[in-house]
Homo-oligomer: A and B are copies of this chain.
Amino acid sequence: MMCEPYRIEGRGLPERVTVYEVGPRDGLQNEAAVVPVEVKAEFVARLAAAGHRVIETTSFVHPRWVPQLADASELLDRVERVPGVRYPVLVPNERGLDRALEHGVEEIAIFASATETFANRNLNRTLESQFAMFEPVVARALGNGLRVRAYVSMCFGDPWEGPTPLAQVVSVGRGLLDLGCYELSLGDTIGVGTPGHVAALIGAFGGPERLAVHFHDTYGQALSNTLTALREGVTVVDASTGGIGGCPYAESATGNLATEDLVWMLHGLGVETGLDLPSLVETSTWLAERLGRPSPSRVVQALGTAPDVKE
């Protein structure tokens, strides 16, 4: 049972929010189970049928680093693209861009770091030299008519350096926008941020323009942080259907903000998403059986039928 919508009066909540679905990429990339390609293709098709208009489908990262997404080419060949739906693909470098172009991808995402240590560990670059790596990727993508989105990871803190200075996040983000990216997805990769920090970061950028938010629910803060971002004017929110993407070694640990929990809040606030919640819950229940673990989404737990999971 869902109540009729109530807006928060006199505040800046948008009429409509775009949910940028990251389950097939950021979710499945961080699950222990390697999912068969036909299951992935069905997952993407179900997400489009549930109303998603942007589905980050896979990544052209080297299979050595992310074996879960080694089937990126085959998956793109299998996905039947629905008109009006965007299927962006994460691209780490020029070789990845070549493969994206070969598969007729129309939008890519690049993955930058807001901290020195993570730039070094994840990209083998310094905070500054990561731009030299992204520049030719973005330039060639734009030259081929693609749109480019930029993730900024570790925007709130990282496990080595502690809290990330706001000015440092803004500097990295502005650099990426200057390269020609159409949007920044500000990521709380380790989930430590809280609402005042979110508002401060958006303020440090001078406002919500061209900003999306990407929260992980490691400390239970993802939805509160999202609400705060919406009240600061953000209209694009990353989420993963079923909340998949937790650390594969901790059964109950959680990953991305669950799309269903976000949609429950948005619809309750009278914010349009174009998404059909029962279809999403059904999809997450179906996927949980294939992943062999229950969905961490509270809404899926409440509304879904218990998956046939053996542990």
Q: Which residues of A contact B (CB under 8 A)?
A: 1-9, 13, 156-157, 159, 162-163, 190-197, 199-200, 203, 217-221, 223-224, 226-228, 250-254, 258, 260-261, 264-265, 267-270, 294, 296-299, 301-302, 306, 311
Contact = CB atoms under 8 A, between A and B. Distances in A.
Contacts of A195: 8, 227, 265, 268-269
A163 B2 CA distance: 7
Nearest to A246: B301
A193 B268 CA distance: 8
Nearest to A257: B220
B196 A306 contact: no
B3 A252 contact: no
A270 B199 CA distance: 14
A261 B220 contact: yes
A156 B296 CA distance: 24
B159 A1 contact: yes
Contact of A261 (B8, B219, B306): B219
A187 to B, nearest CB: 15
Nearest to A158: B1
A120 to B, nearest CB: 18
Contacts of A260: 220
Nearest to A218: B302
A20 to B, nearest CB: 19
Q: How many chain copies?
A: 2
Given A252-B252, A269-B195, A298-B254, A261 B4 contact: no
Contacts of A294: 251-252
A197 B3 contact: yes
Given A3-B163, A3-B192, 8 more contacts: A1-B159, A3-B156, A196-B268, A218-B302, A220-B264, A220-B297, A223-B224, A311-B311
B270 A196 contact: yes
A299 B220 contact: yes
A217 to B, nearest CB: 6
A227 B224 CA distance: 7
Contacts of A197: 3, 6, 268
13 contacts: A6-B197, A8-B228, A9-B200, A194-B268, A195-B227, A219-B298, A219-B302, A220-B258, A220-B299, A221-B261, A251-B294, A253-B302, A254-B301
A199 B8 contact: yes
A254 to B, nearest CB: 6
B3 A157 contact: yes
A261 to B, nearest CB: 4
Contacts of A258: 220
A243 B156 CA distance: 25
A154 to B, nearest CB: 11
A242 to B, nearest CB: 12
A253 B156 CA distance: 29
Contacts of A219: 261, 264, 298-299, 302
